[in-house]
Amino acid sequence: MEMSFSLVYGSDAMIPVEIHESSPRFQSFVAEESDEERRVNLDLLDEAREYVRIKAEAIKRRVEHQYSSKVKPRQFQVADLVMRIAHPYELENKLSPKWIGPFRVTEARGNGLYKLETLEGGLISRTWNAANLKFYFS
């Protein structure tokens, strides 16, 4: 895989120890060969960038697939009873329940957004994402 340094500068990076300690890589350096190789690398630069772009896209898709395989899709209907996750300021100590409720779903706004109300009929002022809700079973 191409490293970003070689894509930008056309060659691999050399660390200072390789220069001061006369490494075989430093001793075998020939300027004329280096110039010719740099010209060839410049001709192949677009191909190297395309290769890196394809690899990055493949990695992105793999990560997306792995994430999507673990997501539990939840859809709630109006009048379903749900619990919502507690905010840190709502927790008294580390043994406090992590879920608060039950609440009733009053409106499904799409894209996993829901309006809630308490069982007594008091509206919750904000919308909640389905990732922060779970079904309440009584």
Q: How high is the pLDDT of residue 110?
A: 83
CA 46 to chain CA centroid, Å, is: 27
Q: Which of 70, 99, 121 is the last residue of a domain?
A: 70
Q: Could you give the strand order of the β-sheet that contains 113-118, starting from the edge strand earlier in sequence?
A: 123-129, 113-118, 99-110, 81-85, 133-135
Q: Which of 16, 42, 70 is the last residue of a domain?
A: 70
The answer to whether residues 59 and 95 belong to one domain is no
Q: Which of 15, 50, 70 is the last residue of a domain?
A: 70
Sites in the chain below the pLDDT cut of 50: 1
Pairwise CA distance, residues 68 & 64, whole Å: 6
Q: How high is the pLDDT of residue 18?
A: 59
The answer to whether residues 21 and 61 belong to one domain is yes
Could you read off the pLDDT of 55-86 as tens digits, one per residue?
999 999 999 999 888 877 788 999 999 999 99
Q: How high is the pLDDT of residue 1?
A: 47
Q: Say if strands 99-110 and 123-129 run parallel, antiparallel, or are unpaired.
A: unpaired
